[in-house]
Amino acid sequence: MLEATDLAVEFSGRGGRRARAVDGVNLSIGSGEIVALVGESGCGKTTLARTLLGLERPTSGRITYDGTPLSYSSRSLRAFRREVQLVLQDPMGSLNPRHTVYEAVAEGPRIHGLSDEEDIVSSALSRAGLRPPERFFQRFPHELSGGQRQRVVIAGALALDPKVLIADEPVASLDASVRGEILSLLLRLRDDLGLSALVVTHDLGLAWNIADRVAVMYLGRIVESGPTEAVLTDPQHPYTRALLSVLPESPRRIVLTGEPPDPTHIPAGCRFHPRCQLVAAGNGIEACGTKPLEILPATPTPQVACHLATASELVSTVDNS
């Protein structure tokens, strides 16, 4: 349904330097599939999501929707955004406090000139789990709970009958008791409506519960991807192992040193090697700091960009130390 091919997005930095926020990404989202894009803050997840929505223009590479390259003319983007909708992280910031629930959900249909506005709003609110919908029409955001506000945001996206949802940290601002409800809603929408979704998150536990596939992003690139169970039960990349180690059931926590490098100064060789726990333990190889890794293709099979991924004895040595 939606695919990025050799995608790169750069921004101007201080002193004329270029920040490579997205630096060669291949990513696909199939029909009826939920893909989780995971990684630390600042790794390029949101920039990639914005580019997939047509909100940022790629420096190179292309976006393809349903087999057709994305055009950036106003008319083409207007049609594209009926098919691909965004669900933001903070529902209170997404909703205009002066607009009622009805006005918030009706905004998209009005912009696109759709008829039967009230029926569309009622149907969208019902599908988002706000029933009976008429009870919410005249409410304002401050009169709703956090979970209800997020459902209104989702209803606003559903009002245009999209084929793909891009959800940027959709439950990060919600209580734990409500998070499960919203995740169940997204799964039900996939099952009932055939929706595809890209869920941007830093939480691998969320990815485990909702995603068919996982793509792990670090410093502008996908470093590991594959079916959720394969990636999260047998991670091959040291970065994925570190992300998984913070989950409560993890036997040992891996603490990465430092912060992700400045995207205007990408490290030579493997871009993760300055923080890699294998390299820090003395189990790295010369290629880690000298030989660039190939960009991973957009395939559904498990894959990893790591010079040490096949050195299972090295991984075992560090895990047992």
Q: Average pLDDT over the chain, rounded to whole?
A: 91
Question: Which letter does DSSP use for residue 138 in this model?
Answer: T
* DSSP one-letter string for 142-163: GGS-HHHHHHHHHHHHHTT--S
Return d(Cα 45, Cα 133) in angstroms, integer: 34
Decide which of 258 and 2 is more confident. Answer: 2
- pLDDT tens profile 50-61: 999 999 999 999
pLDDT band at residue 177 under the 50/70/90 scheme: confident
Decide which of 177 and 141 is more confident. Answer: 141
Question: Is 90 exceeded by the pLDDT of residue 47?
Answer: yes
Question: Which letter does DSSP use for residue 83 in this model?
Answer: H
What does the pLDDT read at residue 15?
77
- Under CATH, to which class is 2-234 assigned? alpha beta
* DSSP one-letter string for 167-190: EESTTTTS-HHHHHHHHHHHHHHH
Mean pLDDT value across residues 159-168: 95
Question: Is 60 exceeded by the pLDDT of residue 320?
Answer: no
Looking at the chain, the whole-number percentage of residues with pLDDT higher than 90 is 78
Question: Is 80 exceeded by the pLDDT of residue 198?
Answer: yes
Mean pLDDT value across residues 54-76: 95
Return d(Cα 310, Cα 1) in angstroms, integer: 32
Question: Is 90 exceeded by the pLDDT of residue 189?
Answer: yes
pLDDT band at residue 310 under the 50/70/90 scheme: low
pTM: 0.91
What does the pLDDT read at residue 38?
96
What does the pLDDT read at residue 247?
85
Mean pLDDT value across residues 93-112: 94
Decide which of 99 and 174 is more confident. Answer: 99
Give helix then strand counts, H and E, for the chain.
13, 11
Question: Which letter does DSSP use for residue 208 in this model?
Answer: H
Query: By C-alpha distance, which of 127, 85, 120, 88 is closest to 106?
Result: 120
pLDDT band at residue 316 under the 50/70/90 scheme: very low
Provide the 10 A C-beta neighbour count for residue 97.
9
Question: Is 70 exceeded by the pLDDT of residue 165?
Answer: yes
Mean pLDDT value across residues 253-279: 90
- pLDDT tens profile 211-256: 999 999 999 999 999 999 999 999 999 999 999 998 888 888 898 8
Question: Is 70 exceeded by the pLDDT of residue 312?
Answer: no
What does the pLDDT read at residue 314?
40
Domain ranges of the chain: 2-234
